[in-house]
Protein backbone atom coordinates (compact mmCIF):
# COMPACT_ATOMS: atom_id res chain seq x y z
CA UNK A 1 0.00 0.00 0.00
CA UNK A 2 1.39 3.37 -1.00
CA UNK A 3 1.40 6.25 1.42
CA UNK A 4 0.37 9.52 -0.12
CA UNK A 5 1.58 12.89 1.16
CA UNK A 6 -1.79 14.55 0.75
CA UNK A 7 -3.74 12.05 2.74
CA UNK A 8 -6.75 13.22 4.74
CA UNK A 9 -5.18 11.83 7.90
CA UNK A 10 -2.20 14.22 7.62
CA UNK A 11 -4.37 17.28 7.02
CA UNK A 12 -3.59 20.14 9.49
CA UNK A 13 -5.95 22.82 10.63
CA UNK A 14 -4.84 26.33 9.49
CA UNK A 15 -6.76 28.33 12.10
CA UNK A 16 -3.76 28.39 14.47
CA UNK A 17 -1.60 30.09 11.84
CA UNK A 18 -4.22 32.75 11.16
CA UNK A 19 -4.73 33.46 14.87
CA UNK A 20 -1.01 33.83 15.48
CA UNK A 21 -0.60 36.07 12.44
CA UNK A 22 -3.23 38.39 13.91
CA UNK A 23 -1.77 38.24 17.43
CA UNK A 24 1.92 38.65 16.53
CA UNK A 25 1.82 42.44 15.84
CA UNK A 26 0.23 42.98 19.25
CA UNK A 27 2.89 40.88 20.99
CA UNK A 28 5.69 42.70 19.16
CA UNK A 29 4.13 46.08 19.95
CA UNK A 30 3.95 45.27 23.66
CA UNK A 31 7.54 44.00 23.65
CA UNK A 32 8.84 47.15 21.92
CA UNK A 33 6.84 49.31 24.34
CA UNK A 34 8.39 47.54 27.35
CA UNK A 35 11.89 48.02 25.91
CA UNK A 36 11.28 51.75 25.29
CA UNK A 37 9.81 52.10 28.78
CA UNK A 38 12.98 50.58 30.24
CA UNK A 39 15.12 53.06 28.29
CA UNK A 40 12.97 55.96 29.46
CA UNK A 41 13.08 54.91 33.13
CA UNK A 42 16.85 54.41 32.96
CA UNK A 43 17.39 57.91 31.58
CA UNK A 44 14.98 59.41 34.10
CA UNK A 45 16.94 57.83 36.97
CA UNK A 46 20.25 59.12 35.57
CA UNK A 47 18.87 62.67 35.24
CA UNK A 48 17.47 62.58 38.78
CA UNK A 49 20.77 61.31 40.15
CA UNK A 50 22.63 64.04 38.26
CA UNK A 51 20.50 66.76 39.84
CA UNK A 52 20.91 65.45 43.38
CA UNK A 53 24.64 64.84 42.96
CA UNK A 54 25.24 68.32 41.54
CA UNK A 55 23.25 69.96 44.33
CA UNK A 56 25.13 68.04 47.03
CA UNK A 57 28.54 68.77 45.49
CA UNK A 58 27.72 72.46 45.22
CA UNK A 59 26.46 72.65 48.80
CA UNK A 60 29.88 71.59 50.08
CA UNK A 61 31.47 74.77 48.74
CA UNK A 62 31.57 78.00 50.74
CA UNK A 63 32.08 80.41 47.83
CA UNK A 64 29.07 81.09 45.57
CA UNK A 65 31.02 81.18 42.31
CA UNK A 66 32.94 78.03 43.19
CA UNK A 67 29.67 76.30 44.17
CA UNK A 68 28.19 77.07 40.76
CA UNK A 69 31.24 75.74 38.91
CA UNK A 70 31.44 72.57 41.01
CA UNK A 71 27.71 71.92 40.57
CA UNK A 72 27.94 72.33 36.82
CA UNK A 73 30.96 70.00 36.60
CA UNK A 74 29.23 67.39 38.77
CA UNK A 75 26.10 67.56 36.60
CA UNK A 76 28.08 67.01 33.42
CA UNK A 77 30.13 64.25 35.08
CA UNK A 78 27.06 62.15 35.83
CA UNK A 79 25.26 62.75 32.53
CA UNK A 80 28.30 62.28 30.29
CA UNK A 81 27.81 59.21 28.03
CA UNK A 82 25.31 57.52 30.36
CA UNK A 83 22.03 58.35 28.69
CA UNK A 84 20.53 55.87 26.24
CA UNK A 85 18.40 58.37 24.32
CA UNK A 86 19.59 61.50 22.53
CA UNK A 87 18.19 64.02 24.99
CA UNK A 88 18.44 67.75 24.44
CA UNK A 89 18.91 69.16 27.93
CA UNK A 90 18.81 72.59 29.51
CA UNK A 91 20.16 73.00 33.01
CA UNK A 92 19.74 75.81 35.48
CA UNK A 93 21.71 76.16 38.70
CA UNK A 94 20.68 78.71 41.31
CA UNK A 95 23.15 79.41 44.11
CA UNK A 96 21.85 81.18 47.20
CA UNK A 97 23.29 81.80 50.65
CA UNK A 98 21.04 79.10 52.11
CA UNK A 99 20.60 76.54 49.34
CA UNK A 100 21.53 75.36 45.89
CA UNK A 101 18.83 74.43 43.40
CA UNK A 102 19.69 72.38 40.33
CA UNK A 103 17.00 72.00 37.67
CA UNK A 104 17.25 70.00 34.50
CA UNK A 105 14.80 69.96 31.61
CA UNK A 106 15.40 67.38 28.94
CA UNK A 107 13.47 66.50 25.83
CA UNK A 108 13.67 63.89 23.14
CA UNK A 109 12.16 64.18 19.67
CA UNK A 110 10.56 61.20 17.97
CA UNK A 111 9.99 60.48 14.34
CA UNK A 112 6.43 61.12 13.13
CA UNK A 113 5.90 57.50 12.17
CA UNK A 114 6.96 56.06 15.53
CA UNK A 115 3.89 57.02 17.56
CA UNK A 116 1.65 58.09 14.65
CA UNK A 117 1.51 61.66 15.93
CA UNK A 118 0.03 60.79 19.33
CA UNK A 119 2.53 62.97 21.20
CA UNK A 120 2.27 66.76 21.08
CA UNK A 121 4.97 68.05 18.73
CA UNK A 122 6.41 64.50 18.70
CA UNK A 123 8.41 65.43 21.79
CA UNK A 124 8.61 63.82 25.20
CA UNK A 125 10.15 65.70 28.10
CA UNK A 126 11.43 65.32 31.62
CA UNK A 127 11.80 67.90 34.35
CA UNK A 128 13.96 67.11 37.34
CA UNK A 129 15.18 69.33 40.17
CA UNK A 130 17.02 68.96 43.44
CA UNK A 131 17.69 71.26 46.39
CA UNK A 132 20.57 71.01 48.85
CA UNK A 133 20.95 73.34 51.81
CA UNK A 134 24.34 74.89 52.40
CA UNK A 135 25.71 74.24 55.85
CA UNK A 136 29.01 75.44 57.21
CA UNK A 137 30.09 72.27 58.99
CA UNK A 138 32.17 73.97 61.68
CA UNK A 139 29.46 76.45 62.67
CA UNK A 140 26.82 73.71 62.56
CA UNK A 141 28.77 71.43 64.91
CA UNK A 142 29.48 74.27 67.33
CA UNK A 143 25.83 75.25 67.35
CA UNK A 144 24.70 71.68 68.03
CA UNK A 145 27.21 71.27 70.87
CA UNK A 146 26.01 74.50 72.47
CA UNK A 147 22.44 73.21 72.29
CA UNK A 148 23.50 69.96 73.90
CA UNK A 149 22.61 67.76 70.93
CA UNK A 150 25.51 65.51 70.05
CA UNK A 151 23.76 63.68 67.23
**Entry field: residues in the chain:** 151
The residue that leads in pLDDT, 35 or 88, is 35
Provide the pLDDT for residue 49.
93
Q: Is 11 part of a structural domain of the chain?
A: no
> Domain total for the chain?
1
pLDDT digits (tens, 9 = 90+) for 47-100: 999 999 999 999 888 888 898 999 999 998 988 888 888 888 889 999 988 899
Q: Is 3 part of a structural domain of the chain?
A: no
Q: Is 10 part of a structural domain of the chain?
A: no
First to last CA, the chain: 96
Q: Is 38 part of a structural domain of the chain?
A: yes
Where helices occur in the chain by DSSP H, the ranges are 15-59, 64-79, 112-115, 137-147
Q: Is 84 part of a structural domain of the chain?
A: yes
Long-range contacts of range 139-146, CB-CB < 8 Å, 24 or more positions apart? none
Q: Report DSSP state, residue 11.
A: P
Q: Which of 100, 78, 79, 74 is nearest to 89 (CA)?
A: 79
Q: How far apart are CA 127 and CA 95, in angstroms?
A: 19
Q: Which domain, by its residues, includes 59?
A: 17-147
Q: Is 7 part of a structural domain of the chain?
A: no
pLDDT (average), residues 145-149: 80
Q: How far is CA 99 from CA 93, 129, 133, in A?
A: 11, 13, 4
Q: Is 25 part of a structural domain of the chain?
A: yes
Neighbours of 119 (CB within 10 A): 14
146 confidence band (pLDDT: 50, 70, 90)? confident
Provide the pLDDT for residue 97.
85
Q: Is 8 part of a structural domain of the chain?
A: no
6 confidence band (pLDDT: 50, 70, 90)? low
Amino acid sequence: MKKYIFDKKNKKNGSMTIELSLLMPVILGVLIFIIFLGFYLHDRCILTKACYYAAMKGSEQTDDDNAYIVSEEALNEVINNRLIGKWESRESIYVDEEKITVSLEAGITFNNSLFFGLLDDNRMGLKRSAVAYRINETDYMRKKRREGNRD
